[in-house]
Chains A and B, each alone.
Chain A
Amino acid sequence: MRNCFRIPKRTTAFLAVVVVSVLGLYGIPARGQMAGVTLYISGDTNIQEMFDKDLLPLFERETSVKTKMVFLEHGQGAESILAKIIAAKRTGQQTDVDLYETQPTFIAQGSSEGIWTRITKDNMANAAKVDPNRPEVLVSNGFGIPYRGSSVVLAYNSKYVKTPPRTYDEILAWIKQNPGKFTYCDPQTCGSGAAFLYVALYKYGKAEDFSGLTYDQARESAWEPALQLLRSLKSNIYNNGFYPNGNVAVLQLLGRENIYMAPVWSDQGMSYLDQGLLPKDIKLVQVSPPFTGGDSAIAIPVHAEHQASGLMFLNWLLTSKAQTIVVNKLAGYPGIDWKYMPKDVRDKFAGIAQNFSPLPNAKYQADAKRLWQEKVAGSGQ
């Protein structure tokens, strides 16, 4: 019996030592330090890595403000965070969300509750560098500040395409002249195919009619000619009307030279070129009217615990130094205007350094994808 007792006692003592030291590690440095900032960031793992390895350490070094990041992978739980911010506002409490990066439509949802700080150059100097007509700003009702973006652009193989199309109509003409050498992915599986669909819709209905928050199904009758146009392309699409699933499948077809032209995401195309997964002959250009693009935006709650630190971080994130990191890491668009970016960055992205078209709102997107399935892919010949 005695022997049996000894072991638990030792274990308890050991555990006590562990607990005390762990508490010490966490507890002691937290005391007496200046207010940190809690960032809620959403995105893919590449975004997480960029914040963890590049942006946050640099910011902490330069400002000695501590940061804490809550990462929502692929935006999972983004809606409940919004609910949490709204709940805190309604009950008159502060929220621990000092800065929230999310889809512009979520920011718009919270705007009527008065939960967001209006960010202008008066409370954040670098707001002056952001184009107020960016889709992220417009869609978020002016409360969201973009800090990264990506757009769909046209990728073409310069070995086979000597004079690349400059406009959307020229793309359509090229597809008909070069049957089987173009495709776009099924719009419900990827953004690049959806962009090809949306720009076709915008050909017959103004983009602004569909990118705002209002929804009126009757307006969709304007899309009919666009859907017929896409259906008429079907026989000229790769493999007699094969729309691959996902962005990657399209890039692979381009890489194997099965097709010579396709819409792709600027950031994915760039990083595939950097990694050598696409031949060097593949070039990226933006056409006119541009393909749709857009990405996350940042908003700051009016009742954030450390609002000043949140604004300070956002201001820092919009410096050309931080923006250069973002653009290079993600091969995407900066949140600030291209003209504020260093020249070497502008040169590298020369083909795509333009604005992009706004996305339709979520309801129009859903309808557009359904109508594409019903009237283009699923219609038979």
Chain B
Amino acid sequence: MTGLALVLPPFFLLVFFILVPAAEAVLDTLRVERGGQIVYSLVRYAEMLRTVSLRRSVVFTILVTLASVGVTFALAYALALYLRFSKGWVSTLLGALFIIPLFIPTVIASFAMVTFLEHHGYVATLLHTIGVEDTPSLVFNATGIVLTEVWASIPFATLVLLAGLQGIDDALIDSARDVGAGALRTFLAVVLPLNTVATVITMSLLFIGILGSFTIPYLVGGNAPQMMSVVMTNYFTNYLRPDISVALAALSFVIAALAGAAYVGGVSHRERGAV
């Protein structure tokens, strides 16, 4: 009974402050007034998909998210491997340093990135001194968003992956080496499969987190196309069209759910395969 009592408050919070309003909002996007009567229709979704700028924004959001997840994952995995298998002061130092972005507010990080990457910023100045005259635009576009998202996501991804790697018994790696497996073979045949759960968790949380992130695309992104979170905010507050905004939110929920389902399916499949 005590257990149930402890669970009830968060349960009610979830139901009445998240699930019910969300369902109500989605239903609202379907209700349309026609000749004085409320009917259910998909016209808002049709309008949303007909609008070229919104279509482009959806595609843009997915591509930027995938690119950010990919780059973050690759860098974080390399870092986690190094921290797991290297001993020494460099490793200890890196272990302390990589965590720093986790403690820097996203707003500050975004502004820092803008100053760093902008037209006459640090990177451009540095490239200029070594003779590169025309620096490509690094900010207020997809490149800027990806770079900042990667910067901000690496600590989280590395922490989860590292936790997974630390769960792998040294004996397994040693025995793989004993039977003659090289570093790459050991990684592909032993480390990667044993770290599947951490990999899936990292990938899915990164995807959903970056898909829904607002501050970074708002501050570092360009005029168009924009990420869906920014577009939603604009439609909600600036354009006084909350209906389109909620329809977009529903679509982004579907995308996130699809991604989640794909990963969950992948995990259970692999686990069954392993058995």
Using a CB–CB distance below 8 Å, which chain A residues touch chain B?
Answer: 186, 188, 239, 242-243, 245, 256, 258, 362-363, 366-367, 369-370, 373-375, 377-380
A378 touching B52, Cβ below 8 Å = yes
Beta-carbon contact of A188 and B224 below 8 Å: no
In B212-247, the 8 Å CB interface with A consists of 222-226, 234-235, 238-241
- Assess whether B239 is in contact with A366, with CB atoms less than 8 Å apart: yes
Separation in Å of the A271 CB from the closest CB of chain B? Answer: 22
In chain B, what residue has the closest Cβ to A369?
B238
The reply to whether A242 and B140 contact each other, CB–CB distance below 8 Å, is yes
Residue of chain B at shortest CB distance from A374: B53
The one of B56, B238, B241 in contact with A378, judged by C-beta atoms closer than 8 angstroms, is: B56
Contact of B238 among A188, A239, A256, A375 (CB under 8 A): A188
10 nearest A-B residue pairs (beta carbon): A378-B53, A370-B239, A377-B224, A378-B224, A366-B240, A374-B53, A377-B223, A243-B223, A186-B223, A366-B239
Residue B57 is within 8 A (CB to CB) of chain A in the complex: yes
Question: Which residues on A sit within 8 Å (CB–CB) of B54?
Answer: 374, 378
A240 to chain B, nearest CB (A): 10
Query: CB distance B52 to A374 under 8 Å?
Result: yes
Taking Cβ atoms with an 8 Å cutoff, the residues of B that contact A are 51-54, 56-57, 119-120, 137, 140, 222-226, 234-235, 238-241
- On chain B, the residues within 8 Å of A186 by CB distance are 223
Contacts of B120 in A (CB 8 A): 256
Distance, CA A290 to CA B54, complexed state (A): 33
Q: Are B137 and A239 in contact, CB atoms less than 8 angstroms apart?
A: yes
Contacting residues, chain B, for A373 (C-beta < 8 A): 53, 223-224, 234, 239
Pairwise interchain contact A377-B239, C-beta atoms closer than 8 A: no
**Distance in Å from the Cβ of A329 to the closest Cβ of chain B?**
29
A243 to B223, CA, bound (A): 7
Interface residue from B53, B238, B240 paired with A379 (Cβ < 8 Å): B53
Residues in chain B near residue A362, CB distance under 8 A: 240
| Beta-carbon contact of B240 and A363 below 8 Å | yes
Residue of A nearest to B231 (CB): A373
Contacts of A367 in B (CB 8 A): 239-240
Question: Do A366 and B238 touch across chains, with their CB atoms under 8 A apart?
Answer: yes
Asked whether B51 lies within 8 Å of A374 as measured between CB atoms, the reply is yes
Contact of B234 among A188, A242, A245, A380 (CB under 8 A): A188
List the B side residues contacting A243 at CB < 8 Å. 223
- In the complex, what distance in Å separates the CA atom of A129 from the CA atom of B57? 51
Residues of A near B239 (CB, < 8 A) are 366-367, 369-370, 373
Closest chain-A Cβ to B151's Cβ sits at a distance in Å of: 20
For the complex formed, measure the closest distance between the CB of A186 and the CB atoms of chain B, giving whole angstroms.
Answer: 5
Starting from the known contacts A256-B120, A378-B52, 19 additional A-B residue pairs (CB-CB under 8 Å) come to A186-B223, A188-B238, A362-B240, A366-B239, A366-B241, A367-B240, A370-B239, A373-B53, A373-B234, A374-B53, A374-B54, A377-B224, A378-B53, A378-B54, A378-B56, A378-B224, A378-B225, A379-B53, A379-B224
| Given known A363-B240, A366-B240, contact A377–B234 (CB-CB < 8 A) | no
Distance in angstroms from A191 CB to nearest chain B CB is 13
What residues on A are CB-neighbors of B222 within 8 Å?
242
Q: How far is the CA of A369 from the CA of B235 in the complex (A)?
A: 10
A239 / chain B contacts, CB cutoff of 8 Å: 137
Nearest B residue (CB) for A366: B240
A374 to B50, CA, bound (A): 11
A59 to B137, CA, bound (A): 52
Report the separation of the CA atoms of residues A243 and B141 in the bound assembly, to the nearest whole angstrom.
12
Q: In the complex, which residues of chain B have a beta carbon less than 8 angstroms from the beta carbon of A366?
A: 238-241
Between A186, A256, A362, A378, the greatest number of chain B beta carbons within 10 A of the residue's beta carbon is seen for: A378
Contact residues in A for B238 (Cβ distance below 8 Å) = 188, 366, 369-370
In the bound complex, residues from chain B placing their C-beta under 8 Å from that of A377 are: 53, 223-224
Cα–Cα distance between A81 and B155 once the two chains are bound (Å): 46
Q: List residues of chain B with CB within 8 A of the CB of A380.
A: 52, 56
A375 and B223 alpha carbons, distance in the complex (Å):
12
Q: List 29 A-B contacts (CB under 8 A).
A: A188-B234, A242-B140, A242-B222, A242-B223, A256-B120, A258-B119, A366-B238, A366-B240, A366-B241, A367-B239, A367-B240, A370-B234, A370-B238, A373-B53, A373-B223, A373-B224, A373-B239, A374-B53, A374-B54, A375-B53, A377-B224, A378-B52, A378-B53, A378-B56, A378-B223, A378-B224, A379-B224, A380-B52, A380-B56
> Do residues A370 and B235 form an inter-chain contact, with CB atoms below 8 A?
yes
User: What is the minimal beta-carbon distance from A47 to any residue of chain B, in angstroms?
Assistant: 24
A115 CA to B215 CA, complexed, in Å: 41
